[in-house]
Amino acid sequence: MLVPRWDTMEVMMSAANADLVGARITDLAESTGSDPFDTLMELTLAEDDLMLRIKVVLANDDVEGIAILLQDERTTLGLSDAGAHVGQLCDAPQATDLLGNWVRDRNVMPMETAIRKLSGQQADLFGFVDRGYLRPGYWADITVFDPETIDPGPVRRVRDFPANAERLTADAPTGIRHVLVNGQPIQVDGEIVTDAVNARPGQLLRSTPRVATSAN
């Protein structure tokens, strides 16, 4: 029998109680002296169309276990289901969640270690020989952020797919000041540079095999 983990569930979207978005079901139940299940039902019935959305952690809710994995030097970061569940999952906040939640708030690893896991380690793993490091001659893919305020921001739903299909997006992170793609600024002082984004300065990357050479 699968026992509900109420402490891992939080309000994700509510037209009737927009101020409760982000609140955990257990916290709401405790504040009203109610059972978590009853709290969930009351929230649902408050919606005109019963369209209450709840975010549920399906796996990886063992914080201590995740911390151990993140600290292991053999662990590399990556998350994608190739777009199979764009209306249920949003992988975009991975980097901002690592820097804000795991580094700043939980102190799981030094900031420089996390940055390497997001940049140089990825470039080395996939064979991008001129990416991932701030070095002369390398492409300038750079994000300038405030470590005190970096955060994923809210996840929201948009309908911009064919047939008005929906997807999740997290397009309003906090703490990000400047972003450069191939040396082209696409965000300056927190503001998107629309013309630069529309110019699509990024490019498809391909792995370059590393050829081992003998030392003489």
Cα–Cα distance for residue pair 79/8, rounded to 1 Å: 20
| Backbone torsion region of residue 54, taken as left when φ is above 0, otherwise alpha when ψ lies between -120 and 50, otherwise beta | beta
Helix axes 25-32, 36-45, angle to 10 degrees: 100
Residue 199's pLDDT band, with cuts at 50, 70 and 90, is: very high
Residues ≥6 apart with Cβ < 8 Å to 175:
96, 100, 145, 146, 147, 148, 149, 150, 151
Closest CA to 181 of 161, 202, 196, 164: 202
Where is average pLDDT lowest: 38-47, 152-161, 181-190? Answer: 152-161
Residue 69: CA count within 13 A, CB half-sphere:
11
Residue 78 has pLDDT above 90, yes or no: no
The burial of 121, by beta-carbon neighbours within 10 Å (0-12 exposed, 13-18 middle, 19 or more buried), is given as middle
Provide the pLDDT for residue 90: 85
Assigned token pair, 198: 């529309």
Residue 81 has pLDDT above 80, yes or no: no
Provide the pLDDT for residue 210: 63
Residue 72 vs residues 54, 59, 113: alpha-carbon distances, Å = 32, 19, 11
Residue 183 vs residues 130, 166, 200, 203, 216: alpha-carbon distances, Å = 13, 33, 12, 12, 37
How does the average pLDDT of the chain come out, rounded?
Answer: 90
Instruction: Please give the average per-residue pLDDT across 22-46, as a whole number.
Output: 95
Provide the pLDDT for residue 95: 95
Residue 211's pLDDT band, with cuts at 50, 70 and 90, is: low
Q: What percent of the chain has pLDDT over 70?
A: 95
Residue 87 has pLDDT above 90, yes or no: no
Residue 189 vs residues 9, 144, 185, 195, 200: alpha-carbon distances, Å = 34, 10, 10, 16, 19
Provide the pLDDT for residue 1: 46
Residue 212 has pLDDT above 60, yes or no: no
Cα–Cα distance for residue pair 33/25, rounded to 1 Å: 12
Provide the pLDDT for residue 151: 96
To which residue do tokens 């996939």 refer?
A: 126
Provide the pLDDT for residue 49: 87
To which residue do tokens 């952020």 refer?
A: 145
Provide the pLDDT for residue 216: 45
Instruction: With beta carbons less than 8 A apart as the criterion, state whether 122 and 132 touch.
Output: yes
Tens-digit pLDDT profile for residues 100-145: 999 999 999 999 999 999 999 999 999 998 999 999 999 999 999 9
Residue 22's pLDDT band, with cuts at 50, 70 and 90, is: confident
Residue 154's pLDDT band, with cuts at 50, 70 and 90, is: confident
pTM of the predicted protein model: 0.80
Provide the pLDDT for residue 2: 59
Cα–Cα distance for residue pair 159/193, rounded to 1 Å: 23
